[in-house]
Structure 1
Amino acid sequence: MTDILILGAGSAGCILAARLSQDPTCEVTLVEAGGWPNDPDIARPAMWPFIQGRDFDWGFVTEPQPGTAGRRHHWARGRALGGSSNLHAMAHVRGHPEDFDTWARLTGSQRWSYDSLLPYFRMSESCSTGADDLHGGDGPMPVLLPQGESHPIVGDYIRSWTALGLPRLADHNGREMIGATPNALMIRDGRRVTVADAYLTSEVLARPNLTVLDDTLVHRLTVQGARVTGAEVTRHGQPGTVTGGCVLLAMGAIASPLLLMRSGYGDPAVLSAAGIACRDARSEIGRNLHDHLLGAGNLYRSARPLAPSRLQLSESMTYQSADPSRTTGKPDIVVGCVVGPSAAEGFDAPPPGEAFTLLFGVTHPTSRGALHVTGPRIDDKPVIDPRYLQTDHDRRMFRIALDRARAVARSAPLSEWVQEEVLPGPVVADDAALDDFIARSAITHHHPVGTCRMGADEASVTDADLRMRGLDNLWIVDSSVIPAITAGPVHAAVMALAESFAAGMRAEG
């Protein structure tokens, strides 16, 4: 029996394995359904929109969403060492400090406040501009703060925002987030760096106390009383079991709650309908599901040829308040500049080199959904229902974000790049028409969270220490425990969460 069994080798799982195996007396086993990724397109930053659906993507699909014109949304999730860091857009955005103070309030623990997490953000980072009080300089993950690499249109995009009164920030990972700046990116020497690249180095993998089991599907937990003894698995097509003294679940906001449900934890009615005996009624498992959406998009035919992006196409996300006079505090909306055409399915777009896109979205959506199993097997397709755009708040904020995108496109110097607005088109102006376009253009930003939320209340799935309620030795360490989404991409927050948990576990011995 291994001392620590980590189920899931995504971003959190890789960090846990690397940090906890630093203790040579502790045996650590890391289990991953996928293998070592070998697709060369993963490393090419500008390929990220085009590699979804390949064999290292779980390829989840939502239920039809009334709020997005009845469309199903493809949720790409990584099935490989490094998890979704093989698929994401590489933006390194922590979120606003108030986001983490919300975590602290909801959990009753200052462990999750921004100031408490700041050392772990810094610990994970190696910023291209060096270390300071807010940024790390020698962590495993390289963070590029673009200097001369940004596309010319992005420079004009940022200058247009400052002309409209928005602050020019050094980056989005300080104490203020409202403002314009290029995205900080997990790129080194022109190549994507996954969390497996950064943390599971050859030196780490050579540790005799670390075992990595790839190509290993986890079917359900094995439990005796209130203790998890391990999991039933299939490795290289052969059934078996893995065992551990401490079990860390790090399979993400979709797979973690689904595993718990297959193991008998969840809403009794849901489990009964799926043919699963209920071990413990934990109705919050799978609920509180939420995600960021982006409108794809406010699309413009360019007045001049657009050279290819040297980075990853989506080069700058500008965070803002819905109130344009407020330039500090937590943002409400975001507008991003994409060096190329980006449009949801059902829309026609000009070819690359002839158009650019302003994506627009809501930083703190209030719509909440749920997911659940439909059967006891891992290949029984889950029901995933994020209930997108179900609140007046979300629809109103989306209209404001689209209006703000159009405003910056009309402002010099960005306006000099505009030949015409292709989407939604000048005739789309009143609220009903805007809501209709937003419903048809909204796409996932690939940030699902919240399905095993941590909290101070007894209904929460995990407590402030990330221990699952009702079990003595199972902790959940991934995006599923996030109780309320951060303002930007959640990946940097997941890394800090894993760093904090690993440091706490090592300190406790």
Structure 2
Amino acid sequence: MTTDVLILGAGSAGCILANRLSADPARRVTLVEAGGFPTDPDIFDPAMWPMIQRRPYDWDYRTVPQPGTAGRVHHWARGRMVGGSSGLHAMFHLRGHPADFDRWGVMSGDAGWSYDALLPHFRATEGYATETPLHGARGEMPVMIPEAETHPLVRSYIEGWQELGLPRLPDHNGREVIGAAPNALMIRDGRRVTTGEAFLRPVLDRPNLTVITGAEVHRLRIAAGRVTGVEIRTPGGDTVLAAGQVILSMGTIGDPLLLMRSGVGNPGVLAAAGVPCRVERRALGRNLHDHMLGAGVVCRARKPVAPSRLQHSESLAYQSSRGLDVHTGAPDIVVGCVVAPSVSECFPMPAPGETFTLLFGVTHPTSRGELTITGPDLADAPRIDPRYLSTDHDRTAFRAALDRARMVAGTRAMRDWNGGEILPGPGMRDLDAFIQRAAITHHHPVATCAMGASDDAVVRPDLSLRGLDNVSVVDASVIPAIPCGPIHAAVMAIAQKFAAGQG
């Protein structure tokens, strides 16, 4: 089978690419996905999101034991379905601070990645109720700003930050991010909206768009600096697809694994896995980083905590560790309010309705890890080593975030809710040891195919892969440095920008 454009991965980027690129009826587009269209009703129930991980539609990757988190192995949920991880995540829509993207412009050597240049692409995907210069209303992805649905506990939490001097923001998608606000959410009529539902399903009847589900991509066939075919494994047998243009949208884990299985990467890593090197790209799989949250400052509630009407984690407060009077610039720490108990596997789970949790984390971690293959086959598990909390910066910032979480818990605004701290507990003296055991992934891995101006970078600023003439990479793996918040809005903008450049 031959097509004009072959998109590998129907996740958050792939569904947008399929929509935008197939809008040209003269362009034949084929989209390949390992999973299927989601059918589990729990996926679409916003309150169920913490419970749907490790089901068959989750790749459920695992890290190697992490010295920085007390030797623990972390589960990395990644969506194996049409819509990808937008079917598993917490539905936040938060771009990041403008300085995050201006940094991308500097790192890539291309001002087209600056915040102001990306803003039209953010807006083109967004479906806010009201259009403003900073918010789009004509895009396919609904963005809800909760009002009446906000939990009374969360209202008190936001008031607590105001009491401490932190601004109250309408949402976190303005030019300033420091402050507390209800989380903007990708929810419509009480249901999660995935990129598959928003962008792909409405265009499935286009005659020039083919969607192949239940198909794992094994490797790329490479000759003379081009991909000449893509080996696909399906329940009905193996097949080879060919295309003039191949786009990798399999994510921060899937993209480098496919490239390494195909002979692209560090020659030493490939040789150890039994794969001949065809294209040397030593940076592939490196620069891996992720957001973490401490789970958490758990407080006993003075009165029953009713279930969330949204998705439990209803508000984030971004701030500077330099002081609560710093209201401009990029934040470096964050505290979130969860209307439920939330702890790592190291602690017993308190009863729901009797506690609430303040998560705390670092917005711009400096710890960097690496992902590699361990063998040439699909069944060979990857080696994922994010090297969590391996820098003094990250450990210091985590302590500051923990201090702020405890600070807001003690405000007058929270007095009617806070019946005393359960975790870490007033008797806990070794807070670093607590953080190591409490830290969990925020599910935002990036940068294994990071774009850059240098010839050493995996992809160019236009997202074409260095070393293969007809391959591009379009998803979170190209992000060179993580923005301060959840990455999904940025991934959608990346896909929108790339598609707009294809004519």
TM-score, length basis structure 1: 0.98
- Structure 1 contact 4–246 (Cα < 8 Å) conserved: yes
- State yes or no: 1:391 paired with 2:391: yes
Matching of residues 6-85 of structure 1 within 5 Å: 6-85=7-86
Verify the 8 A CA contact 1:301 1:350 in the aligned structure 2.
no
Aligned residue for 1:453? Answer: 450
- Deviation, 1:237, is 3.9
Within 2, Cα distance between the matches of 1:427 and 1:337?
23
* Partner residue, 1:300: 299
Partner of 1:181: 181
C-alpha separation in 1, matches of 2:12 and 2:229: 21
The aligned counterpart of 1:228 is 227
Q: Aligned partners of 1:455, 1:38: CA distance in 2, in Å?
A: 39
Corresponding position: 1:284 with 2:275: no
Q: Does 1:417 align with 2:417?
A: yes
Q: Could you give the per-residue CA deviations for residues 64-113 of structure 1, whole angstroms, max 9, x where no partner exists?
A: 00000000000000000000000000000001000000000000001110
Q: Given the alignment of the two structures, is residue 443 of structure 1 paired with residue 446 of structure 2, yes or no?
A: no
Number of the residue aligned with 1:138: 138
Equivalent residue letter for 1:356: F
Aligned length: 501
Name the CA distance, whole Å, in 2 between partners of 1:323 and 1:304.
Answer: 34
Q: Deviations over 1:242-297 (max 9, x none)?
A: 11100100000001000000000111111001000000221100000000000000
1:487 aligns with 2:487: no
* Residues 228-249 of structure 1: CA deviation (Å, up to 9, x unaligned): 1231011224111111100100
Answering whether residue 353 of structure 2 is matched by residue 353 of structure 1, we say yes
Rounded to whole Å, the distance in 1 between the matches of 2:79 and 2:350 is 30
Contact 1:9 1:32 in 2 (8 A): yes
Secondary structure of the residue aligned to 1:416 is coil
Please list the CA deviations of residues 282-325 of structure 1 after superposition, one character each: whole Å capped at 9, or x if unmatched: 11000000000000000001000011000000000110001113
Question: Would the aligned equivalents of 1:267 and 1:281 in 2 still touch at CA under 8 Å?
Answer: yes
Shift of 1:356: 0.2
The AA in structure 1 aligned to 2:164 is L
Q: Alpha-carbon deviations, 1:29-63, whole Å to 9, x = none?
A: 00000011101000000110000000100010000
Q: State the alpha-carbon separation in 2 of the partners of residues 327 and 176 from structure 1.
A: 8
Q: Do the aligned partners of 1:5 and 1:230 also contact (CA within 8 Å) in 2?
A: no
- Superposed counterparts of 1:353-392, under 5 Å: 353-392=353-392
Answering whether residue 201 of structure 2 is matched by residue 201 of structure 1, we say yes
Residue-by-residue CA offset, 1:317-336 (whole Å, 9 max, x unaligned): 11000111311110000000
Q: Which residue of 2 aligns with 1:505?
A: 502
* One-letter amino acid of the counterpart of residue 474, structure 1: V
Q: CA deviation at 1:116?
A: 0.5
SS at match of 2:68: helix
In structure 2, distance between residues paired with 1:307 and 1:109: 49
Q: Name the CA distance, whole Å, in 1 between partners of 2:102 and 2:154.
A: 32
8 Å contact from structure 1 (residues 230, 247) kept in 2: no
Taking the aligned partners of 1:414 and 1:367, their CA distance within structure 2 comes to 34
Q: Which amino acid aligns with 1:102?
A: R
Indicate the SS of the match to 2:157.
helix
- Pairs within 5 Å for 1:146-295: 146-202=146-202, 204-295=203-294
Moved over 3 A (4+): none
Task: State the match for 2:405 in structure 1.
Answer: 405
CA distance, structure 2, for counterparts of residue 346 and residue 292 of structure 1: 19
Cα separation, 2, equivalents of 1:470 and 1:307: 55
Structure 1 residue 171 displacement after superposition: 0.4
**Amino acid aligned to 2:230:** A
How far apart in 2 are the matches of 1:444 and 1:349? Answer: 17
Structure 1 residue identity aligned to 2:193 = V
- Where 2:6 maps in the other structure, the secondary structure is strand
Residue 428 of structure 1 and its aligned partner are, at CA, apart by 2.1
Contact 1:94 1:492 in 2 (8 A): yes
Deviation at 1:426, TM superposition (A): 0.6
| Cα distance in 2, alignment partners of residues 406 and 155 from structure 1 | 17
Q: Secondary structure at the match of 1:101?
A: helix
Partner of 2:107: 106
In 1: Cα distance, 2:236 partner to 2:443 partner: 30
For structure 1, list consecutive stretches of 5 or more residues without a partner in the other structure: none
TM-score, length of structure 2 as denominator length: 0.99
* Cα distance in 1 between the residues matched to 2:403 and 2:345: 22
Q: Distance in 2 between matches of 1:111 and 1:13?
A: 21
2: CA distance between counterparts of 1:349 and 1:252?
Answer: 31
Determine helix, strand or coil for the equivalent of 2:181: coil
Please give the alpha-carbon distance, in whole angstroms, between the structure 1 residues aligned to 2:357 and 2:243: 49
- How many Å separate the matches in 2 of 1:259 and 1:199? 25
Partner of 2:471: 474
* Overall identity of the aligned pairs, in %: 62
| Structure 2: gaps (5+ residues) | none
Query: 1:409-428: CA deviations, max 9, x gaps?
Result: 00011132011100000122
Give the aligned residue type for 1:302: A
Secondary structure of the residue that 2:498 maps to in structure 1? helix
Q: Which amino acid aligns with 2:124?
A: M
User: SS at 1:375's partner residue?
Assistant: coil
Is the 8 Å Cα contact of residues 127 and 143 (structure 1) preserved in structure 2? yes
Counterpart-to-counterpart distance in 1, 2:97 and 2:439:
23
- AA in 2 matched with 1:376: P
On the 8 A contact 1:46/1:309 being kept in 2, the answer is: yes
Q: CA deviation at 1:224?
A: 1.8
Give the whole-Å Cα distance in 2 for the aligned partners of 1:135 and 1:327. 21
CA distance in 2, matches of 1:439, 1:237: 46
Partner SS for 1:180: strand
Mapped partners of 1:328, 1:157: distance in 2: 21
Which residue of the partner structure matches residue 87 of structure 1?
A: 88
SS at match of 2:95: coil
Deviations 1:120-162 (A, max 9, x none): 110000013x101000011100000011110000000000101
Question: CA offsets, 1:357-379, max 9 Å, x none?
Answer: 00000000000000100000011
Q: Per the alignment, in what secondary structure is the counterpart of residue 16 of structure 1? A: helix
